[in-house]
Amino acid sequence: MPIYKSTYFKESALAHQLLDGMKGLEVGGALHNAFGLDTVNVDLYPQLDTVYKNAERDLSRTKEVMPVDICAPGDKIPVADKSFDFVISSHVIEHFFDPIAALKEWARIARKYIYIIVPQPDALDSDKGKLITPLDTLFARHRGEIENPGTDEHHTRWTCGTFVEMCAALGFYVSHTQDPDDKVGNGFCAVIDLRPSPLLGIALSLENVENLLAPFMKKEPVKRKK
């Protein structure tokens, strides 16, 4: 696949630092805001004349758009488990009514990283004055307790802090954040590192040592919270 260079906005130094040399999958890629990475582009629509593609064409200095390689919903992508090094998206996850499902799908696909840029909660005029979406609302949506209105809008508003909180609640480790992001600058960036942490291995080793010593120390075996 060709590597598409951005035709309008600058590319992200952090994305290049972490992801250069890897093979990735981008959800909702756009030529005017390309990352310059080796990615396959997933889009909900195969047509290149949608409202989003027309906006992309207007912003692109070359008047071209990024081709669609896989036509599928971004939370139900027909690729094998752990088939890409990373999944990346910019200004996309807020359009999912159930962003938790999207994150779980991206974690299924990626071996190493999920790289996400999210708009600031007031980046759009239509978002101004609206509240940050509570975490319990996101879990209620994921459980199917709130009906999906089926509209294409910003369903969720986060700060960088509340986004990291959501990731932690799902058991994801956020290794890097930028607020604002170094791409367009009207959002924030969160990078989920899916690789096993070496600190986890150290913690498990310490637990095993303490349990072995427990009979000699006349104390109960250690039971750490997972």
CATH number of the domain to which 176 belongs: 3.40.50.150
Identify the domain containing residue 150 by its residue range. 13-195
Residue 202, SS3 per DSSP: helix
Average pLDDT over residues 139-164: 96
φ, ψ of residue 156 to 5 degrees: the values are: -135, 145
Q: Which of 85, 101, 116 is nearest to 183 (CA)?
A: 116
Reduced DSSP (H G I as helix, E B as strand, rest coil) percent helix, strand, coil of the chain, to 5: 35, 20, 50
Average pLDDT over residues 210-222: 47
What CA–CA distances, in Å, run from 163 to 20, 121, 160, 189, 197?
A: 25, 11, 5, 10, 21
| Model confidence at 55: pLDDT above 50 | yes
Binned at pLDDT 50, 70 and 90, residue 60 comes out as confident
**Whole-structure pTM value:** 0.85
* Residues 191 and 221 occupy one common structural domain: no
Q: Report if residue 6 sits inside a domain.
A: no
Average pLDDT over residues 111-140: 95
Mean pLDDT of the chain: 89
45-54, 61-70, 141-150 — most confident range? 141-150
* DSSP code per residue over 57-84: HHH-TTS--PPPSEES-TTS--S-TT-E
Determine the pLDDT at residue 196: 82
* Residues 102 and 138 occupy one common structural domain: yes
Determine the pLDDT at residue 212: 45
* Residues 108 and 149 occupy one common structural domain: yes
* Residues 122 and 136 occupy one common structural domain: yes
Average pLDDT over residues 202-206: 44
What CA–CA distances, in Å, run from 115 to 123, 153, 154?
A: 19, 21, 19
